[in-house]
Structure 1
Amino acid sequence: MSMNRRSFVKVAASTAALSAMSSFAQPQQPVRYAAVGLGQISDIFMKSVSQSKKCKVTGLISGHVQEKTPKYKSLYGVQDKSIYNYETFDEMAHNPEIDAVYIGLPNSMHAEYTIRAAKAGKHVLCEKPMAISSAECRSMIDACKQANVKLMIAYRVHYDPIWLRVKELARSGAIGEIQEFQGGFRANFKAGQWRLDRKFSGGGSLMDLGVYPLNAIRWIAEEEPVSFAAQVATKLPGPRFASVEESVEFSLKMASGVLASAGSSYGVEGDNYLMIYGTEGHLRVEPAYGYQGVRFKGETKTGAVDETSKGVMPYQFTLEADHLADCIRNNTEPWTSGDEGLKDLVAMEGIYKAAGAPIA
């Protein structure tokens, strides 16, 4: 049967429309993550990904392949060809079964493996703190831009609905104009952890715990500190704090005049909270930075508030993994990009400098 030009165009258009509809109806392929470093935090992350419909674990990287990978290979169905050690890490560039990496390594290794992942063409979700210096952060950002891959820092509280509600109330005027923040994160860390070794951690309690209230203050205030005051102290004797500080107390002033103070410690049975004071109310988040049970209460212009997260660990990790997956699919920038991690390191360098204890 002959077909004139008009009929051909109509059929072609209909075929294209049906093809597009069929493609749209197909479920999207999950974003495939490889976990870099198989310690406790990566274990939690992989569990969270297993609960996601947007992601899956398809790769493993460890310095102890024989000891650590069999468990996760079995749990997540990872193929042998997608298991690497740190020497063979760069071979991921030739593995189409891995889209992104989750970096759960000690702080001092974040920059190296982010840059290597970027050169391998893989998107990066890196744990906080982003690195051990602002210079390293900038090198990570540059490497990911050059490779055209996403870089997201794992600030999980930014994705928790309870924390988003706190920020909404604070920024909406529900407590009037924000005037001041107070916060803290303190815990008793025993000897033998890599966090107590400066060559791995880059610093003490500020880098690991203090970054939580610091970041929450910056995030909710939506401005950066312009002046710093701080004290660093190590009160407990012995080798536990031979290379890192035990406790830090710091104060910040924002350009707007908002004041903030917070502290962190590795040497006490502590707390984790954030107070936000406004001209017409206040909010207290406590516990603030845990994996579940986040709660806030306070007084607003319209009355008392008291809400507790219903999320069950590791829901925060699932939310952040899904967010990066969406960014990869839609070519959008993560909420907690490398720039967010850089700003925290700049602030921490200011805190250490004010305390007379330069970072790293």
Structure 2
Amino acid sequence: MIGCGSVTEVKSGPAYQKTDGFELFAVMRRDLAKAEDYARRHKVPHFYDDADALINHPEIDAIYIATPPDTHEYYALKVAAAGKICCIEKPMAPSYAACIRINDAFKDKNLPLFVAYYRRSLPRFLKIKEWIDQNKIGAIRHIHWQFSKPTNDLDVSKTYNWRTDATIAPGGYFDDLASHGLDLFVFLLGTIKSAEGTAENRLGLYTAKDTVTGKWTHDSGATGFGTWDFGAEERQDIVKIYGNEGNITFSVFGESPIILERDEETTSLNIAHPEHIQTYHVQNMKSYLVGASSHPSTGKTAAHTSWIMEQVLQNNIKVINN
């Protein structure tokens, strides 16, 4: 594992350790003392401050890249050159062009490439997909996502945060958070053929955008609209899928009930996330690698999500804050 940040502490690292047939053999962090601390706490046998040493270790078969997005391509190309399997944290890279370069490198070596859009593997969203595939709400007409959150201490204090650095995440928290939802919507409703939007920096707290609106159209003809406000008074996360025979309501990040409404009847289900939220994503990688199933989140699907985000952000609005 390259990178030992917060995402790996509970969400992902233990999922690799607890998946039968997988072993978390080594971790790398540029700060060797922090790498050693992580390895000690998680009982990982090896630790490095040199990515090349980890990538080229003869006993390592696969690499999980869990660094900020601006280094994903750099490390991924090294992994491909070493001829090893790879999983990259989301978003896959800061640009669609970088995603294509990564995909090409793994395709040339005929190597599996996964991206950690783990919501595609979570039971609550698989249930929603089941409802859609079973035609529970008829033909899908539209999907709408309203997401907002207040600023946090890092924003207000202007402490450095890669998620609000325009050179790494041009859309700010949109890149980190909205990518999850947009990727999920493609999983649920199919490929998106067109997208556009506007992005603004209204608060002037950091270099990236803090308010985004977007609209898109799926190949099926279903339309979508989203609003993302990262300086709002309160947190909201509401998605509604409209069919010609009913609706489905849920949240992307919360664990509120998923709700199916049709024929004047309402079905409400509580489906909790696993303790380590990437568990099913990692187990699905194992299943794919032993030839038992496909995997829902690949370099190809993740590149498509990056393309959508880029289309939404490219018509951004520049706002001068006095």
Fold in common (TM above 0.5): yes
1:330 Cα deviation after fit: 2.2
Q: Which amino acid aligns with 2:268?
A: D
Taking a change above 3 Å as real, the CA distance of residues 227 and 246 of structure 1, as seen in their structure-2 partners, is closer
TM-score, normalised via structure 2 length: 0.88
Name structure 1 gaps, 5 residues minimum. Answer: 1-34
Map of 2:116 onto structure 1: 154
**1:354 and 2:321 correspond:** no
> Is the contact made by 2:2 and 2:51 (CA closer than 8 Å) also made in structure 1?
no
Q: Among 178, 181, 199, which residue is 1:210 paired with?
A: 178
Q: Secondary structure of 2:191's partner?
A: coil
Taking a change above 3 Å as real, the CA distance of residues 301 and 338 of structure 1, as seen in their structure-2 partners, is farther
Give runs of aligned pairs for residues 1-360 of structure 1, distance below 5 A.
Answer: 35-44=1-10, 45-66=12-33, 68-79=34-45, 82-85=46-49, 88-187=50-149, 188-189=151-152, 190-191=154-155, 192=159, 193-228=161-196, 230-237=197-204, 240-241=205-206, 243-268=207-232, 269-286=234-251, 288-290=252-254, 293=255, 295-301=257-263, 303-314=265-276, 316-330=277-291, 333-355=294-316
1:270 Cα deviation after fit: 1.8
Aligned length: 310
Q: Which has the higher helix share?
A: 1
User: What RMSD, in angstroms, separates the aligned Cα atoms of the two structures?
Assistant: 2.1
Q: Which amino acid aligns with 1:205?
A: Y
**Distance in 2 of aligned mates of 1:351 and 1:74:** 43
Taking a change above 3 Å as real, the CA distance of residues 348 and 310 of structure 1, as seen in their structure-2 partners, is closer
Instruction: Give CA deviations for 1:69-88 in whole Å, capped at 9, x if unaligned.
Output: 22332234333xx4222xx3
**Distance in 2 of aligned mates of 1:185 and 1:56:** 37
Q: Secondary structure of 2:290's partner?
A: helix
Choose between structure 1 and 2 for higher RCO, CA contacts under 8 A separated by at least 6 residues. Answer: 2
**Distance in 2 of aligned mates of 1:93 and 1:36:** 9
**Distance in 2 of aligned mates of 1:105 and 1:321:** 17
Q: Which amino acid aligns with 2:38?
A: Y
**Distance in 2 of aligned mates of 1:115 and 1:278:** 42
Taking a change above 3 Å as real, the CA distance of residues 270 and 225 of structure 1, as seen in their structure-2 partners, is farther
Q: Secondary structure of 2:284's partner?
A: helix
**Distance in 2 of aligned mates of 1:184 and 1:111:** 31
Instruction: Give CA deviations for 1:284-318 in whole Å, capped at 9, x if unaligned.
Output: 013x224xx3530121358321111133321x311
> Is the contact made by 1:93 and 1:121 (CA closer than 8 Å) also made in structure 2?
no
Instruction: Give CA deviations for 1:107-137 in whole Å, capped at 9, x if unaligned.
Output: 1111111111121222111111111111100
> Is the contact made by 1:110 and 1:131 (CA closer than 8 Å) also made in structure 2?
yes
Instruction: Give CA deviations for 1:255-289 in whole Å, capped at 9, x if unaligned.
Output: 44311011223222322232111011101013x22
Taking a change above 3 Å as real, the CA distance of residues 295 and 101 of structure 1, as seen in their structure-2 partners, is farther
Instruction: Give CA deviations for 1:114-169 in whole Å, capped at 9, x if unaligned.
Output: 11112122211111111111110011111112233211111111101110010111
**Distance in 2 of aligned mates of 1:151 and 1:281:** 37
> Is the contact made by 1:249 and 1:263 (CA closer than 8 Å) also made in structure 2?
yes
Q: Which amino acid aligns with 2:3?
A: G
**Distance in 2 of aligned mates of 1:152 and 1:248:** 28
**Distance in 1 of aligned mates of 2:56 and 2:95:** 31
Q: Secondary structure of 2:73's partner?
A: helix
**Distance in 2 of aligned mates of 1:320 and 1:346:** 22
**Distance in 1 of aligned mates of 2:58 and 2:280:** 24
Instruction: Give CA deviations for 1:20-65 in whole Å, capped at 9, x if unaligned.
Output: xxxxxxxxxxxxxxx2111101222112223332322111010111
Q: Which amino acid aligns with 1:195?
A: R
**Distance in 1 of aligned mates of 2:294 and 2:78:** 20
Taking a change above 3 Å as real, the CA distance of residues 289 and 131 of structure 1, as seen in their structure-2 partners, is same
> Is the contact made by 2:195 and 2:214 (CA closer than 8 Å) also made in structure 1?
no
Identity %: 22
> Is the contact made by 1:217 and 1:260 (CA closer than 8 Å) also made in structure 2?
no
Q: Secondary structure of 2:101's partner?
A: helix
